[in-house]
Amino acid sequence: GRNLVSDPISNKGLAFPLSERDRLSVRGLVPPRILSIQEQERVIMDEYTRGWAARAEQEPEDEIIKSGVSPDNIRKWKVLQSVQDRNETLFYRILMDNFQDMAPIIYTPTVGWACSHFSQLYRRPRGMYFSHGDRGEMASMVYNWESDEVDAVVITDGSRILGLGDLGLGGLGISIGKLDLYVAAGGFHPRRVLPVVLDIGTNTQ
């Protein structure tokens, strides 16, 4: 499953139907929601025409922007995520060598903006998603994860994210960012960490 979602030719992102998710061992490796290729295209085209930095500039009342996260912080976050998707060795080398400058980009406060816009992120899947529909199946789903040995698991239910409220699945960005810091500053091996979100719904409309 992990190889499949990392293969740009075979990966369909959120378009895998439930039957294929079980059969191909990708259940839990992609968010539980199903989006057709056409729906995914609309999300990408919105980013293509507007862009994240431009969107941030157009949202001056956004709580995260008001807290001091600049469009340039968001640009830097995107650059680092792109490096991580291509070359994790390089990503962690850069993060370790520039830890003080980059920690606020990888984690708080910038990650708050990424979490609040997580549904617009289409990148290599990172972490595991367990939804209310997976009740009773989690023990079998965890075998879809690529590593049999995990030293650190960071779990969120997506609620109360950095004072932003209940972000549901978007909270996975917190688990990912925190574990990136554990790897860079705490010496954990990147193959032995597991970010998890328990996507059991939110209290918000």
Same domain, 140 and 161: yes
> Is residue 107 one of the residues assigned to a domain?
yes
Q: Which of 38-47, 74-83, 116-125, 157-166 has maximum average pLDDT? A: 74-83
For residue 15, give its domain range: 1-35
Active site annotation includes 12: no
144-190 pLDDT, tens digit per residue, is 998 889 999 999 988 877 777 788 888 898 999 999 999 999 999 99
Per the structure, the count of domains in the chain is 2
Q: Is the pLDDT of residue 55 over 70?
A: no
Binding site per annotation, positions for (S)-malate: 160
- The verdict on residue 18 lying in a domain is yes
Over residues 140-144, the mean pLDDT reads 91
Q: Is residue 205 part of a domain?
A: no
* pTM exceeds 0.75: yes
* 182 in the same domain as 136: yes
Q: Is there a domain that residue 170 lies in?
A: yes
Instruction: Choose, from 66, 107, 143, 182, the residue flagged as catalytic.
Output: 107
Same domain flag for 10 and 79: no
Whether residues 51 and 112 share a domain: the answer is yes
Does residue 148 lie in a domain region? yes
Q: Between 72 and 188, whose confidence is greater?
A: 188
Query: What value does the mean pLDDT of the chain take?
Result: 84
Catalytic choice (12, 66, 178, 182): 178
Q: What is the CATH number of the domain that holds 134?
A: 3.40.50.10380
DSSP the chain: -HHHHH-TTT--GGG--HHHHHHTT-BTTB-SS---HHHHHHHHHHHHHH-HHHHHHT-TT-HHHHTT--HHHHHHHHHHHHHHHH-HHHHHHHHHHTHHHHHHHHSTTHHHHHHHTGGG--SS--SEEEEGGGTTTHHHHGGGSS-S--SEEEEE-S-SGGGS---GGGGHHHHHHHHHHHHHHH---GGGEEEEEEE---S--
pLDDT class of 67 with cuts at 50, 70, 90: low
Q: What is the mean pLDDT of residues 116-131?
A: 80
Confirm whether 114 is domain-assigned: yes
Regarding whether 94 and 25 lie in a shared domain, the answer is: no
| Pair (65, 104) in one structural domain | yes
Which residues does the annotation place in the binding site?
160
